[in-house]
Structure 1
Amino acid sequence: MRNGDSTTIDVSESSAIAKGKAPLIAVTKQETGGWKRGVAIFDFILRLGAIVAALAAASTMGTSGETLPFFTQFFQFQANYDDLPTFQFFVIAMAIVSGYLVLSLPFSIVSIVRPHAAAPRLLLLILDTVALTLNTSAGAAAASIVYLAHKGNPNTNWLAICQQFGGFCQKISGAVVASFVSVVVFIFLILLSALAIRQA
């Protein structure tokens, strides 16, 4: 009788322990899913901010141009973004980055709906790294020309033109700043994706 009772008690204890463990595992999964969903929502918001910054950079540079007013219509000094191949590359690169960010929004939404799915997050991580490289190269190249426009370079007879073309220089400087804002956002996006994949 005692052996039978002890057997019955052991079975009930093991079943109680098993029943006690199941809710703990379910709670842990729910907490993990909630955390990942929050990261995905923050990722979506950052992408919207990056779209605004990249579009602002491309449109500001693409519309930059100034003509000095104190010359006749037959003899004028003009400064336009398309006078320099570096600025043309900047506009094209930032337009590509903007287009990519718009196309990446559905994948970000999938990460919100299915926070445990690793494939969309991995794809975004890879493509964000490529876009970051393009964005950084365009911003750095344009920044070097903007610096020369402000400071000049006497050794190469590159004159500082910003004293004459103040409006043009303000627009190209603003475009470069906007491009580096999107660079910072991309860095955060990559870190978030890497963190979410690691916790998968």
Structure 2
Amino acid sequence: MKSDSATIDVPESSAEAKGKAPLMAAPREQKPAGIKKGIAIFDFLLRIGAIIAALAAAATMGTSDETLPFFTQFFQFQASYDDLPTFQFFVIAMGLVAGYLVLLFPFSIVTIVRPLALAPRLLLLILDTVALTLSTAAGAAAAAIVYLAHNGNPNTNWLAICNQFGDFCQKVSGAVVFSFVTVVVFVVLIFLSAVALRRH
């Protein structure tokens, strides 16, 4: 009887050991998913900030218009964003970037619900890189024109117009600042996507 009880106790203890092994490994498997979910939530919040910055850049540039008062209505000096193709490109580009961010909201939500999914994160990384290039090009081109508006270029007889069109220059300068805020947010988004993909 003693030998029978001894033989019965051995498989029970081994079964318990086998049952406990997966329970010990579960928290280790859930830890990367928790980190990736935190990254995905932070990514989502950054995208909201990028939408606000891109829309602010496009709206500020699109409403930049100033007319100088003169003696008669026949002689008026006016400055508007649509006088320069660079500023028109800026408004279109930042509008496209804002629209892109809105359209890709579902993919950002998918990365929160399914933090271990590889395809949505890879898609966001590729498209964010394209949007970063577009917003950087628009911001840099507009910044060059804003610099000329503030300082001019004596070698080419380009006069600084910001002494006369102060409100216009203030608006276009603010639009350029918003565009570079968008650029910085995109850099952080791409970095977060790279970190999330590296953990796969």
> Could you tell me the TM-score, scaled by structure 2's length?
0.92
Secondary structure in 2 aligned to 1:75?
coil
User: How far apart in 1 are the matches of 2:156 and 2:44?
Assistant: 46
Q: Which residue of 2 aligns with 1:119?
A: 119
Matches for 1:1-200 after TM superposition, within 5 Å: 9=10, 15-200=15-200
Please report the RMSD computed on the Cα atoms of aligned residues, expressed in angstroms. Answer: 2.0
Query: How far did 1:114 drift?
Result: 0.7
Secondary structure in 1 aligned to 2:79?
strand
Letter aligned with residue 74 of structure 2: F
Secondary structure in 2 aligned to 1:79?
strand
Gaps of 5+ in 1: none
- 4+ aligned runs moved over 4 Å, structure 1: 11-17
**Greater displacement, 64-73 / 37-46:** 64-73
User: How far apart in 1 are the matches of 2:94 and 2:71?
Assistant: 34
Query: How far did 1:17 drift?
Result: 4.6
Query: How far did 1:34 drift?
Result: 1.6
Query: How far did 1:66 drift?
Result: 0.4
> Could you tell me the TM-score, scaled by structure 1's length?
0.92
Query: How far did 1:89 drift?
Result: 0.5
Secondary structure in 2 aligned to 1:90?
helix
The count of corresponding residues between Structure 1 and Structure 2 is 198
User: How far apart in 2 are the matches of 1:59 and 1:182?
Assistant: 14
Query: How far did 1:19 drift?
Result: 3.1
Query: How far did 1:15 drift?
Result: 4.5
Gaps of 5+ in 2: none
